[in-house]
Structure 1
Amino acid sequence: MTPPPARNRRADARRSRAAILDAATRVLNAEPDASLETIAGAAGVTRPTVYAHFPSREQLLLAVVERITHEAVVAMDAADLDTGPAVDALMRMLDAGAQVTGRYSVLVQLISTHPVGPEADHDRHTPVADRIRRVIQRGRRSGEFDDRLPVDWLVAATIRLGHAASEEADAGRLSAPAAQDALRISLLRLLGAGEEADPSPPPR
């Protein structure tokens, strides 16, 4: 049986949208000032087709952000967040996310120059925040972390520390291993982990 024309149109629209997002992610990560016409050419569609899906460059960029966030979340989930010590799971999760965003370093920089409102920023980070919260709560139940600070504060601080570690490594101010060590030590102290879990040297 031949599919109805409306179903074919919807399938074509989904393929066009996916092709545009693929092209935008690839092109903007290489050339952040690329025009929509350049992106349309890379996607194999016309510029009006791009505008039909994304009426503005800002909306296209937001859709690219959503795509990268989804890719990062998939990588985080693959890091097996429910296995092993909570702090190790947290580090695996942050490292998985950093590896994804590291592949799009130019795009991430471009995104950072387009500030969004608090609500949009909250929505952007919600999938990541939910997973961090889950690991922190597991660590509290197991006794690995203390409960002196509010969970939401710890989640927000963990996200910012993860960004800081990536930014320091990207800028060359810290090597990648040093940034990871600084992140781990900072998280252990922030979360109130036991001294036996803290790899930092004793004070002199």
Structure 2
Amino acid sequence: MADRNDVLGAAQRVLNADPGASMTVVAEAAGVSRATLNRHFDSRETLLVELGTRSLDQWAQRLDAVDVEAVAASGDAARIRAALEDLVLGYVDDSDAFGFALTDHVILANAALEERTQALADREAVLFAAAQASGVLRADLPLRWFGHAIYGLLVAAREAVRIGDVARRDAGHLVLSSLLAGVVPS
């Protein structure tokens, strides 16, 4: 019998393929009845908020893994760039599991998730500020623009992979090169 984590995993897979999938479709993918799904999550909103929380947990783990605060404090341009690249490539990997959370209206409208999102964006901005100061990122752009640009590129990559315009293996390179070099010839 599927436990809560099995159901969440199935929901992630289903919602990444079809963000509008019903609870019935999620239950079928998890191999449980709709009643069993409802025992775990009393509504689609509850399920989505749990998945949104998990996506933010993953974001926090990515920030911890690259040690954004220590890297930013180092002022070392090479170290900052490497951390930025690792972070962005990690985000692309995470979009395999949590890409739907980038655009889901229930998740984006939840006040608690939005508050936590802002706290994580503040942590991320510390790295962006150091990247600007060290010449890794353009200093003439607003600090918060980088987070929005990455977000937009992740949404674009997720959709391009989902509909088959881009191979999954190319998504990381496309996001990273678009962020760091743009889309004009060098």
The alignment status of 1:33 with 2:22, answered yes or no, reads: yes
Relative contact order, higher structure (CA 8 A, sep 6+): 2
Bigger mean CA offset, 76-85 vs 116-125 = 116-125
The question of 1:139 aligning with 2:131 is answered: yes
Shift of 1:161: 1.8
Any unmatched runs of 5+ in structure 1?
1-18, 191-199
- In the other structure, the counterpart of 2:65 is 78
Root-mean-square deviation (Å) = 4.0
Normalising by structure 1, report the TM-score.
0.60
Q: Which has the larger share of helix?
A: 2
Of 34, 45, 53, 1:58 maps to 45
Which residue of the partner structure matches residue 155 of structure 1?
A: 147
Aligned length: 168
- Contact in 1 for aligned 2:88/2:150 (Cα 8 Å): no
Contact 2:66/2:87 (CA < 8 Å) preserved in 1?
A: yes
Sequence identity (%): 22
Structure 1 residues 68, 138: closer, same or farther in 2, change over 3 A? Answer: same
**Considering only CA atoms, is the larger Rg found in Structure 1 or Structure 2?**
1
Q: Which ranges of structure 2 fall in alignment gaps of 5 or more residues? A: 15-20
Name the structure 1 match of 2:88. Answer: 94
**Offset from partner CA, 1:19-68 (integer Å, 9 cap, x none):** 53x243123235543449959995xx967854xxx553312321222113
CA-CA distance at 1:145 after TM superposition:
2.6
Calculate the TM-score normalised by the size of structure 2. Answer: 0.64
**2:168 is equivalent to residue 185 of structure 1:** no
Q: How does 1:39-50 map to 2 (within 5 A)?
A: 50=40
Per the alignment, residue 195 of structure 1 pairs with none
Letter in 2 for 1:163: V
Q: Which residue type is aligned with residue 71 of structure 1?
A: Q
